[in-house]
Amino acid sequence: MKEKIVPLTLLFSIVFNLIACVQSEMSWTNKENSPQPLRQVVGLPNIAVGNLNPAARSPGLEVLCISFYDVPGGYCHYFAPGAPYSVLPRSKNLTRSGGE
């Protein structure tokens, strides 16, 4: 009996994981297919990323960005951790004359 404890616990664990996986996939599929009027009306992305509010930023590396938030050299408004917000080509805001 003692020797069966580990295999039984392992079996239970695998079944538990499988059930959790299937249940999670099903609930996400249901969510995706059901109408979501609140999301439609709000139209905002998920909170912690979609805003520029410093309170919604993460500790860790971003703390540096917070501390410089509103001073010259901070540039936090352009920093959506790792990804630039504006990737569209901006034209005609720089001209150069003279030299080679």
Partner 1 sequence: MKGRHMNLLSYALNCIYRYKVRTVVILVCLVTSAAVFSSVAFLKDGLVKEGELSLKYAPDITVQQIWAGRPTLIETSYVGYIQEMAGTISVIPRIWGYANVGNILLVIMGIDIDNMFFDPKETFPMEEGSFLSPETPNSVVLGKAVADILGVRVGNTLTILTESVTPIQYQVVGIFNSEANIYNADMILMNIDDARLFFEIPENLATDIAVYVWDPQLVNNVARDIGELQNLRVVTKDIILKAQETTYGARSGFFSVLWYIVLISVAITAFNQTVVVGHESKFEVGLLKALGFSTSDIIEIRLMESAILGVIAGSFGITFGIIYDRVFNAPIFRDFMLGWVTLYPNFTLPIHISASTIFLIYVITILPLLFATVIPSWINATVDPDIAMRGARA
Contact between 50 and 44 under an 8 Å Cβ cutoff? The reply is yes
Which of 51, 86, 79, 52 has the alpha carbon at shortest distance from 64? 79
Can you tell me which of 1, 71, 73, 89 binds partner 1, judged by CB under 8 A?
89
Q: Applying CB under 8 A, does 20 fall inside the site for partner 1?
A: yes
Contact between 26 and partner 1 (CB under 8 A)?
no
Contact flag: residue 52 with partner 1 (CB under 8 A): yes
Residue type, 50: G
Handedness of CA 57, 62, 63, 69 (dihedral sign): negative
**Interface with partner 1 (CB under 8 A):** 3, 6, 9-10, 13-14, 16-17, 20-21, 24-25, 28, 31-32, 34-53, 55-61, 77-78, 80-83, 85-91
